[in-house]
Amino acid sequence: MSEHEDELADAQTESPSSLGRRRALSIGVGVLGGGLALGPLIPALGYILHPLSNTITSAGEGFIGVGGRGQFGPTIPIKVDLFADRKDAWSVTRQVKIGSCWVLEREGELKAFSTVCPHLGCSIDFDTEANAFRCPCHRSEFDLDGKPVEGPSPRALDTLEVKEEKELVAIRYRRFRQNISEKVEV
């Protein structure tokens, strides 16, 4: 009898439980072999898929135009939305809203205050009756210079850089850490 015929004969006489063990063993060896073969490919896959899981935003690096100088006066702040291109790994989305700010003139100079509350990040409103900035979440209140006058905010409203060029106004948008007394960019 040949070796192959011997093996066949063995398999026919083997009990079902022994056949099951043999199958489980061969599946385990297959999985282990497959894992070892894929091992070197994992860093390469990570490299290829990396951009899908990691969005990089470079929007708002520069100044963003918000309109003519004439629209901003000393009494009522104007809220402006800031738009910029958002860059992901492989694509650019044009003109995405990246934030907002309040703009007004103080002693002849334009000031821009981020609408993000320095306390816990709610959106700051302007109350025309009280002539003050207010946060609806925990009732922080700020005067027209952005100074806190009431509530839990640990610092003044965050100012943003303003540039005026040929009667046009541009603002550099930034975000800052919340609930700390210093203004620290994130």
Contacts with ligand FES by CB under 6 A lie at 117, 119-122, 135, 137-138, 140, 151-153
Least distance in angstroms from the C-beta of 102 to ligand FES: 14
The sign of the torsion formed by the CA atoms of 149, 153, 154, 160 equals negative
Are the CB atoms for 65 and 80 separated by under 8 Å?
no
Least distance in angstroms from the C-beta of 135 to ligand FES: 3
Are the CB atoms for 81 and 98 separated by under 8 Å?
no
Closer by beta carbon to ligand FES, 33 or else 136: 136
Closer by beta carbon to ligand FES, 114 or else 140: 140
Closer by beta carbon to ligand FES, 66 or else 146: 146
- Within 8 A by CB and 6+ apart from 175, the residues are 99, 114, 116, 185, 186
156-169 as b/e: b if 16+ CB within 10 A: bbbbbebeeeeeeb
Least distance in angstroms from the C-beta of 100 to ligand FES: 15
CA separation (Å) from 4 to 9, 14, 16, 22, 29? Answer: 9, 15, 20, 17, 22
Closer by beta carbon to ligand FES, 66 or else 117: 117
Backbone dihedral region for residue 53 (phi beyond 0: left; psi -120 to 50: alpha; all else: beta): alpha
**Amino acid at site 112:** A
